[in-house]
Amino acid sequence: MSAAEEFAECCADQRWFVDNGWVTKQVAVDNLQLLAECAGYVDDLGQDEVQRLMGEAFAPIEDLPSDYASQLLMQWELADPRDRWRWTGELPPVQQVSTIEKTPYRTAQSTIDAFHVVLSAGDPDRIANWLHNHQADAPALFKSVEAA
């Protein structure tokens, strides 16, 4: 057995201890580094190869299917009545359009009160300027003057 194979076997053993909760990954890797230095693996293989073998031993195990994302999406859509039709062949559900009635524009009471203050000043230019800046409110303002 070569030095690389021997060290890789030690790494696999340490991975087993980590997977079974006997030691933490940090402790296992520290132990492997100490072993590599004391047993001469670093001298024989080089530090880069020792690190590569440790990394390979502790690499995540890919146990998800290659189409995991599409399977998950399918499960979610089958569980949602709005999307189930994409997988079952049913007709899509009728979209319920909620109509929100737009309330008609109404001049605020504060704007009416402010207009009466400007009106009481008696300056025609100021009144004209103020009405120019409040064109949407002009009909309601005139009604408030007529009511007064």
- The pLDDT confidence band at residue 52, using thresholds 50, 70 and 90, is very high
Q: Is the per-residue pLDDT at 146 higher than 70?
A: yes
**Is residue 5 over pLDDT 80?**
yes
Q: Which residue has the tokens 């031993």?
A: 57
Under a CB-based contact definition with an 8 Å cutoff, are residues 54 and 32 in contact? yes
Alpha-carbon gap, residue 33 to 45, rounded angstroms: 13
Q: What is the pLDDT of residues 84-135, one digit of tens each?
A: 888 888 888 888 777 788 888 888 899 888 888 888 888 888 888 888 888 8
| Rounded-to-integer distance, Cα 135 and Cα 11, Å | 81
Each residue's pLDDT tens digit, 33-45: 999 999 999 999 9
Checking if the pLDDT of 24 tops 90, the result is yes
The answer to whether residues 115 and 133 touch, using CB atoms and an 8 Å cutoff, is: no
What is this structure's pTM? 0.43
**Contact at 8 Å (CB) between 13 and 54?**
no
Q: Rounded to 5 degrees, what angle do the CA atoms 12, 38, 32 make?
A: 25
